[in-house]
Amino acid sequence: MKLLTTELATQFEESALLDKRILGNLEGIGFMMIYFK
């Protein structure tokens, strides 16, 4: 059971990192669109 929780925690952390990266990219794109208007 402990192995399963660790696996889930790892997947959760990875998806959280991915979300942050996507959000960062969206913010960057939004900034560029405003900047180049």
What digits encode the pLDDT tens for the residues 4-33?
788 888 998 999 998 999 999 999 888 888
- Compute the half-sphere exposure of residue 6: CA atoms within 13 Å on the CB side of its CA: 3
pLDDT of residue 1: 60
Rg (CA), the chain: 16
pTM: 0.54
pLDDT of residue 35: 80
Of residues 8 and 3, which shows the higher confidence score? 8
* pLDDT(2) > 80: no
